[in-house]
Amino acid sequence: MVFLVFSFLIYGEISLFESVALLVIHTLFLLIRVIVSSKYMKIKDSITDNKSIKHWFIYLRVGVFMTGLTWSMLFFFIAELPPEFHFILFAVILGLAGGGLLTLGIDLYTYLSFMIPLLIIPALWMFYQDDITHITTALFLLMGVSYYILTARRSTQDFNQLIIENKKSELQKKTLHYQANHDVLQIEIAA
């Protein structure tokens, strides 16, 4: 949806061939991610071993990497446009990185797979430009990258701690249930 809105903003500013190429590339990667996700959803309940889980995580990370790469490559398609378009795309990409933090931040490596191509390539592109505005923006972008990495790291740690506490709570409930049943059994035997 965001891609369609951005496409509408640059409509008429880049050639029809470039517009169609961007749409096809973006749609192709999105379609691949949908197909992989639907395959996973069909078999997710039958996955029990760590090797299979790691296998699906690799698919997820490659998919989000390609999505981040697709968004960052837009800068090369709009390079000849006025700087206003660069900064609109910059704002969109920062929004995507923030949204990715909420949806992918549970797993740091998955988030990094998305965020690194999404933000580092535009930062390098902006450093390559000859004006101070782009270079300053690239510096702010790199500060944002460090903030996003630290926040994602914290989010991953919080999620892992939540899992540990949940497992401890389940173990305590089972222990209390066992002790209660054992005490009832002791009372019955004593009687």
Judged against a pLDDT cut of 80, whether residue 104 lies above it is answered with: yes
Which two structure tokens, joined as six digits, stand for 18?
């470039």
Highest mean pLDDT: which range of 40-44, 88-92, 101-105, 118-122: 118-122
Question: What is the total count of domains within the chain?
Answer: 1
Per-residue pLDDT tens over the stretch 146-176:
888 888 888 888 877 887 888 788 777 777 6
CA dist 38 and 5 (Å) reads: 26
Per-residue pLDDT tens over the stretch 60-83:
889 889 988 988 888 887 778 888
CA angle 9/12/18 to nearest 5° reads: 95
Contact call for residues 86 and 136 (beta carbons, < 8 A): no
Q: Specify the residue for token string 């990495």.
A: 149
Q: Which residue range(s) make up the domain with 70?
A: 2-190
Nearest 10 degrees: CA dihedral of 110, 122, 149, 2? -60
- The pLDDT assigned to 65 comes to 92
